[in-house]
Structure 1
Amino acid sequence: MYALLETKGEDSVLYTKDGTVDYLSSPANKLKTGSWKACIFIIASASLERLAYFGMSSNLLLYFTGDLDQHSATASTNLSNWAGACYITPLVGAFLADGYIGKYWTIASSSVSYAIGMGLLTLSASTCWLMPTIFSTNFYDAIDVKTAMCFTSLYLVALTSGGIKACISAYGADQFDDDDKTEKKSKSSFFNWYYQLMNIGTLLARSLIVWVQDYVGWIWGFGIPALAMAMGVVSFFSGTWFYRNHKPAGSPLTRLFQVVVASVRKKRINVPADASLLYETDGAKSNIVRRRKLNHTRNFSFLDKAAEETPPDHTNGSVNPWRLCTVTQIEELKSVLRLLPIWVTGIIFSSVRAQMDNLFVLQGSFMDTQVGKTSFNIPPASLGTFGTLSVIFWVPVYDQIIVPLVRKVTGHPNGLTQLQRIGTGHFISIFSMLCASILEVARLDIVKRHNYYELKHVPVSIFWQVPQFLIIGCAEVFTLVGQMEFFYEQVPDSMKSLGSALRLMTIALGNYTSSLLVSFVIKITTEDGGPGWILDNLNYGQLQNFFWLLGVLSLVNFVIFVVVAKWHTGPL
């Protein structure tokens, strides 16, 4: 008996308590799996994916306007729509990962398909000489075919990248056991350093690869990111033996809909004051595979009707899940509903951040790109490296300096709460739009005074854009990393990928909002025969007004965030 108890005690130390398993579906051994030794492969894969993504996307606006012969507004809209698609497909990835095949196989299959899409994009860029002879003798027909191939490849990437984006950060966090105090403490630092190292990939993309695209060619410019993605696939598979995996628990969306249907069916039923009378399964585990029960909370009490038992709830001796739901199931839906107000406020922030690869690049293309007195010209898209450098600078500063200092004031173990961190980033982002607006006013003033309207590169150094990029980078460290941790922590174990997908969806909607704003602004500003704000030749436009508009929207959004953050209570 003593030996048996001793063995059980050893097992409690050797194996995780959160239900994770290894690649053989055996209980995960703490010494052999998880923690930082597994995260090395995950972070390396994520960094290479970021290098591939931003190596492809950072300069796409100029690729659309140059090689694909699109107008500035059209190119901006197409870029925003594609970028939006890249961040809305994570919902599909989350659905598959949480419900059916798990995070590992979702990331693995998506990575392989992603690499194929990148290869096809490289192929589409390399066919510019062949198309007039193979498909047509007409140059414009060749451009149409090239455009079709390009967007087919891009949307294949958008579709397949959803599985990676939805799962990769959550999968990394899964490598730390919340029931182990040491590992739980490491999880907060994981989000900081995960974001930090991802930005090293972004830095290489926005500097080296953008330069290759502008001065060597698009075949190499797209080929290098494709190679990076292939290396990311190898990196991810190499860590298979070290990963901890949560088994899929069935579709979370189905469970959420069951709660809605059951509560509506019982809308006339009164909920008992004693929550212990509501329906829940017996034992420590919930009816969701390998998941812990959730405690009852008092908000959204209408949904509690779904857990009030009535005779019709039982069919042939079993529970009808569309009539009777457990408290845990109801709390899953409540956790998502509590997130929605915070989630909505992330959309405007994402619209502002989207300008780094969109209208900031267009603005920079009408400035002096020469570096000092040298003959070297910096590609406009490369200014995004300053945003990335800002992130790389602020992550360790936040983790090692700001957190310990603020902790002494607030007493919170992480210095700022997750919501305080997110709100700080919202506030900082306002100043990026102010900087961009002021710079454009100054640039247009020089154009007007010197009659530079037909001059492509106005003699205003592109390095005046640096402050707006630095500010956005700083805001990212607060808001995006804060959102990453917040959306992971605030959803139940069975919905971690869905939480990540919801966070990423704000980026998608931010891009779509940017696209809609551009279309709306063009419609309004050209209605009475006016030239409009965003023209192919920005020297005749009023781009600063669009930046002012985003600045005002950011200020209003920050005020709304403060209100909803005070309302948000999280799990009680």
Structure 2
Amino acid sequence: MVGTNAQQQFPGELSHAETQTTDIARKRGGWITFPFITVGVMGLTLASMGLVSNLIVYLIQDFNVKSVDAAQISNIVNGCNSLFPIAGAIVADSLFGCFSVITFSSIVSLLGMILLTLMATLRSLRPSEGETPSRLQLGVLYSALMLASIGLGGTRFTIATMGADQFPKAKDQGVFFNWYFFTLYIANIISFTAIVYVQDSIGWGLGFGLCVGTNAVGLAIFLAGKRYYHRVKPKGSPFISLARVLVATIRKWKLVWVSSETQSNQSSYYHAKTEVSKLPSSAPSQSFRFLNRAALKTEGDIRPDGLIAKPWRVCTVEQVEDLKTLLRLFPLWSSGIFISVPIGIQMSLTVLQALTMDRHIGPHFQIPAGSFLVFTFVSTAIAIYIADRFLPSMWRRLTGCSLTPLQGIGIGHVLNIMGMAGFALVESRRLHVVQSHHLEDQTGSTVVPMSALWLAVPLAIVGDGEAFHFPGQVSLFYQEFPVPLRNTATAMVSLLLATGFYMSTAVIDLVRRVTSWLPNNINQGRMNNVFWMLVVIGVANFGYYLVCAKLYKYQNVGSDSENQEVQDED
């Protein structure tokens, strides 16, 4: 009887356990994860931007690094901060998943911030006034910067991908991305104002200590939502399939090229669908047709069951076409490099300009030099709102058609050129004031009697340009990239920024070697010529962009309704 009762109770208890398991599974993902992820983004961004925003000033004031050298170090750090997210995204997609990469990277970032705080607090870890830093001190500094950059690399885009993974519907994903970028801008503004003010006015130890605190809080809140997250298992990197296309093409390079009639016969090519791409197969295109060799079937390539026997000798038509799409987009992508280069140079040189100008607002308040870049962030945020709300309808009324991503990027090119010209004019005015007051022989830290608020105008113009060309590039890459690579489409912009920052370092170094425009005392230099040089580069690059845009043919843009239906089905 007891056994019977136990048997009668056991199914009920099992059903209750199954119900609890089902409820937990149902709770995973969705908007319940939003506060955990958003606060995590806020905390981690505050920490990383609290370092980057005022790094030049810290190197000059506390490490006795010469001004232009400090700008070069800052460019390298910014380049790493833009390059490492690509590695983080690849590792997350291929091996460990987003959650593990974000957690590990946040801990690494926290260690870097702690090390920076110790450097700012302990006298032995930084040089005395007027002394050159020792190898040990430089080693600790570079280690801290590297840890912080690695930590940022594993979180910046990976946490955005994880946030989007919580929502099955494209509409909800779009809303999340809007709030994600809004959170980034708010964190940047706070970092470039409040944290920079603490670092300049109270102390570097407390300033970096705030970065430690925001990093720790962001990590703790992110981990607190662990039970609610929907996790996507890594499926392997799609870049491996692209590498297979190249290897298979090389291995079959000596095959006798078949006629176009034979090429049109799809039976000559391998059309099996890949695991990541469920789109229907199609005949290989004639552009870059030498790559079609990779999909040609030869003896021994295919097993009797229709699967690939030698994955590094034959590929699907879809994989070949994916690589061709990337090759078609590469010229347009490369034109963005010479937008990023002027921005990288301008970001570092603007801080040097602000350090020598009157930054007072009223008799008692002085704007920190590192905070001037906030004018760009505010301008970008406002311009994005205006462009999203009003520009599409206005553009449609004026032209009769919708604003395309390529047109938006082109507007960004023009505004960027105008911004560089504005910086050149402001610097010409600053040097005129230097000469009229005979300040050429004074130190580079001598305050020139000219308001630094003049820099706000070109900074705002550059911010308006960023509101067009960077979102335009993200939109273009996301819509035009092959479906298996759409998760890494936005990382292409990060690669663009990284390339731009590294090249800006090389350009500044070249200018210093062949000209006298950038001495350590910028009052004795001709920084305005540097900005005019960037204007010339920008105009030439804009011409190159127009050619690339004219030759490019959209693959997916223009069928928004169809794309939306596909996304909703997914």
Q: 1:147 to 1:92 in 2, by over 3 A?
A: same
Shift of residue 460, structure 1, vs aligned partner: 0.3
Select which of 397, 411, 415 maps to 2:386: 397
Select which of 218, 224, 227 maps to 2:204: 218
Q: 1:498 to 1:119 in 2, by over 3 A?
A: same
Select which of 219, 228, 235 maps to 2:214: 228
- Residue 52 of structure 2 is matched in structure 1 by 57
Q: 1:343 to 1:39 in 2, by over 3 A?
A: farther
Does residue 1:469 correspond to 2:453, yes or no? no
Does residue 1:309 correspond to 2:297, yes or no? yes
Shift of residue 258, structure 1, vs aligned partner: 0.7
In 1, Cα distance between equivalents of 2:24 and 2:483: 17
Q: 1:67 to 1:343 in 2, by over 3 A?
A: same
Does the CA-based 8 Å contact 1:89-1:162 persist in structure 2? yes
- Residue 262 of structure 1 is matched in structure 2 by 248
In 2, Cα distance between equivalents of 1:85 and 1:547: 24
Shift of residue 544, structure 1, vs aligned partner: 0.7
* Letter paired with 2:195: I
Does the CA-based 8 Å contact 2:380-2:467 persist in structure 1? yes
Does the CA-based 8 Å contact 2:63-2:126 persist in structure 1? no
* Letter paired with 1:520: L
The answer to which of 312-321 and 539-548 deviates more is 312-321
Does the CA-based 8 Å contact 1:418-1:483 persist in structure 2? yes
Does the CA-based 8 Å contact 2:474-2:490 persist in structure 1? yes
Q: What whole-Å deviation, never above 9, does each CA across 1:8-67 have from its counterpart, x for those lacking one?
A: xxxxxxxxxxxxxxxx999996x9634x55455444433333322221111111111221
Does the CA-based 8 Å contact 2:64-2:131 persist in structure 1? no
Shift of residue 200, structure 1, vs aligned partner: 0.6
TM-score (norm 2): 0.84
Alignment of 1:30-429 (within 5 A): 33-34=29-30, 38-128=33-123, 140=131, 144-177=135-168, 183-185=169-171, 187-188=173-174, 190-241=176-227, 243-267=229-253, 268=255, 269-270=257-258, 272-274=262-264, 276-277=266-267, 279-280=269-270, 282=272, 286-289=273-276, 292=279, 298=285, 299-314=287-302, 318-355=308-345, 357-372=347-362, 374-408=363-397, 415-429=402-416
Q: 1:496 to 1:365 in 2, by over 3 A?
A: same
In 2, Cα distance between equivalents of 1:239 and 1:565: 44
In 2, Cα distance between equivalents of 1:138 and 1:207: 27
**How many pairs does the alignment contain?**
526
* Letter paired with 1:429: N
Secondary structure of the residue that 1:164 maps to in structure 2?
coil
In 2, Cα distance between equivalents of 1:275 and 1:503: 38
Does the CA-based 8 Å contact 1:279-1:309 persist in structure 2? yes
Secondary structure of the residue that 1:311 maps to in structure 2?
coil
Q: 1:207 to 1:387 in 2, by over 3 A?
A: same
In 2, Cα distance between equivalents of 1:25 and 1:449: 77
Q: Which runs of 5+ in 2 are unaligned?
A: 1-20, 557-570
TM-score (norm 1): 0.84
Does the CA-based 8 Å contact 2:64-2:130 persist in structure 1? no
Q: 1:99 to 1:292 in 2, by over 3 A?
A: farther
Shift of residue 519, structure 1, vs aligned partner: 0.6
- Residue 9 of structure 2 is matched in structure 1 by none
Does residue 1:438 correspond to 2:425, yes or no? yes
Secondary structure of the residue that 1:247 maps to in structure 2?
coil
Does residue 1:503 correspond to 2:493, yes or no? yes
In 2, Cα distance between equivalents of 1:199 and 1:172: 17
Secondary structure of the residue that 1:358 maps to in structure 2?
helix
Q: Sequence identity, in percent?
A: 32
Shift of residue 191, structure 1, vs aligned partner: 4.3
* Letter paired with 1:152: S
* Letter paired with 2:300: P
In 2, Cα distance between equivalents of 1:160 and 1:109: 8
Secondary structure of the residue that 1:459 maps to in structure 2?
strand
In 1, Cα distance between equivalents of 2:65 and 2:522: 15
In 2, Cα distance between equivalents of 1:240 and 1:409: 50
Alpha-carbon RMSD across the aligned residues, in angstroms, is 3.0
* Letter paired with 1:398: A
Does the CA-based 8 Å contact 1:195-1:481 persist in structure 2? no
Shift of residue 356, structure 1, vs aligned partner: 5.1
Q: 1:463 to 1:141 in 2, by over 3 A?
A: closer
In 2, Cα distance between equivalents of 1:86 and 1:356: 17
Q: 1:326 to 1:420 in 2, by over 3 A?
A: same
Please identify the structure whose Cα radius of gyration is greater: 2
Secondary structure of the residue that 2:373 maps to in structure 1?
helix
Secondary structure of the residue that 2:361 maps to in structure 1?
coil
Does the CA-based 8 Å contact 1:123-1:219 persist in structure 2? yes
Does the CA-based 8 Å contact 1:125-1:146 persist in structure 2? no
In 2, Cα distance between equivalents of 1:408 and 1:278: 50
Q: 1:496 to 1:222 in 2, by over 3 A?
A: farther
Does the CA-based 8 Å contact 1:281-1:287 persist in structure 2? no
